[in-house]
Amino acid sequence: MVNELDEQSAGPLRIGRWRSHETSDGPATCDGAIARESTLIESTLRQKRWMPSRRIFLNRSDPGTRFLPVAAQTVSCGAAAQPESAPLEHVTFRDDMKTERLVAGRVLTEATDGGLLVQGPDGRLWTVEKEQLVTRETTDEKFTPLSAEALGRQLATELGSDCEIVVTKHYVICSHAGKPYAQWCGALFERLYSAFHDYWKQRGVKQRGIKLREPEFPLIALVFANEKQFAEFASRDAGPDVASAKGYYSIGTNRIALYDLTASGQEPARNVAEISRRLAAAPFNIATVVHEATHQIAFNSGMHTRYADNPLWLSEGMAMYFETPDLTSRSGWKTVGAVNDLRLKQFQTYLARRPADALVTLLQSDARFTDSNQAGEAYAEAWALSYFLIKTRKEAYIEYLNRIAEKPTLIWNQPQERLADFRAAFGEDLQQLDAEFVKFMRRLK
């Protein structure tokens, strides 16, 4: 999910509330086909200054991307290995460029057509179609995730020795922007991480079946020195359309990538005070980073499952629910669930011409998020719906979250299944719910 906020829209930010009159957003998805579409849409969106973009996407270079979305019936999953006790396997396959790759990891899912979902020790997911598979060997060893230190060494090898590694409790940050900025990011991410877990724990998710957990793999953040360096990497890693974003989260690699937002032609900031001073001038850019970091946390806490059917309104709605930056706190994060003025204004404007079936179309598929003409409204509506449901139907929302969290990997739901899931949690009468939703949002200020 890319999150990009328009620098020109940046103005002073009241804590917990957007002030800008402009906004933007873009699609996010776990679905390979949709991911590719959204990549194209992103470039359209960028031309519209009113619309920053946010997306989850698979890596383009991910060889299995095309096998994921389409045919649930041909990839119906076999029994997934128990992740904790899975053996280490050596899977060799040919990627799209016909280059042979070896992944030493665990097989998470074996499709009935012979396709595999393989996870490396850094947490990266690889999809391997049957015809791409060269060899698969099971070893006597147990699969073990890389430690933060080992991961740091791996990242330094991949991204160059000038990348400084900063390790925090949950993150490994590989920074080309110097240590102070990486440390600042680490502190921000850790605060967000705690806020996310605390917020949902306090709302009783555990009692309703969601077991929020610590991430199995250290969370990776790549911090580039400037926009140019980021754009070069993002183009290679995720496709050229991501290059103009302020950051993104890749479901495939499980990494977030961002750059030093304080740089802009200056020397890197030397300390936290200087970073804060510079960022105060462009708080919207930081919201992008917060949005992406929220996706990463949600996909690593058991709230969402990577490569499962996560409706975009839900995953994007959640990221937007957390995205308002809280740059002033030292420990807490006071802006979770604050009214997002930007989204609210967009949604209220949309209400004048919102079609009668808007709720259904938002719920039943991700199509509106991947249509450049509708994506901005879809994002605003996803925020509004999430806000409404969390504030007025917390128990049902958590029940729904749990239902989605338990979705199997590599199975993509049909519109009627998505609607059935929603109705099972929130009731059969969508018209009635929609009327209450609209009434609630009209009154919100």
Binding residues for Zn ion, rule: CB under 5 A, are 1, 28, 54, 316, 319
144 CB-contact burial (10 Å; exposed 0-12 / middle 13-18 / buried 19+): exposed
Least distance in Å: CB of 291 to Zn ion?
5
C-beta closer to Zn ion: residue 217 or 249:
249
C-beta closer to Zn ion: residue 249 or 400:
249
C-beta closer to Zn ion: residue 109 or 301:
301
Least distance in Å: CB of 55 to Zn ion?
6
C-beta closer to Zn ion: residue 60 or 106:
60
User: CB of 125 within 8 A of CB of 118?
Assistant: yes
The span from the CA of 114 to the CA of 164, in Å, is: 41
Residue 131: φ, ψ to 5°: -75, -15
C-beta closer to Zn ion: residue 72 or 319:
319
For 61, the token pair is: 């270079």
C-beta closer to Zn ion: residue 54 or 60:
54
For 166, the token pair is: 């900063």
Please name the residue that has the structure tokens 């940050």: 173
CA torsion sign, 191 to 378 to 220 to 272?
Answer: negative
Q: Mind giving me the DSSP string for 315-327?
A: HHHHHHHH-S---
C-beta closer to Zn ion: residue 108 or 222:
222
Least distance in Å: CB of 369 to Zn ion?
10
CA 58 to mean position of chain CA atoms: 10
Q: For residue 139, what is the enclosing H or E element? A: strand 133-142
Least distance in Å: CB of 342 to Zn ion?
14
Residue 128: φ, ψ to 5°: -125, 115
Least distance in Å: CB of 372 to Zn ion?
16
Q: Mind giving me the DSSP string for 66-115?
A: GGSSS-TTTS-B-PPP-GGGPEEEEEEEE-TTS-EEEEEEEEEEEBTTS-
Least distance in Å: CB of 253 to Zn ion?
16
Q: Give me the sheet containing 171-175, strands edge to edge.
A: 56-57, 247-250, 255-259, 219-224, 171-175, 164-167
Which residue of this chain has its Cβ atom nearest to Zn ion in the complex?
A: 1
C-beta closer to Zn ion: residue 132 or 365:
365
Least distance in Å: CB of 294 to Zn ion?
8
For 369, the token pair is: 């998020």
C-beta closer to Zn ion: residue 147 or 305:
305
Least distance in Å: CB of 386 to Zn ion?
12
The span from the CA of 358 to the CA of 371, in Å, is: 14
The span from the CA of 182 to the CA of 161, in Å, is: 16
Where do the H-state alpha helices sit in 262-325? 272-279, 283-300, 312-322
Least distance in Å: CB of 158 to Zn ion?
25
C-beta closer to Zn ion: residue 54 or 191:
54
Least distance in Å: CB of 16 to Zn ion?
20
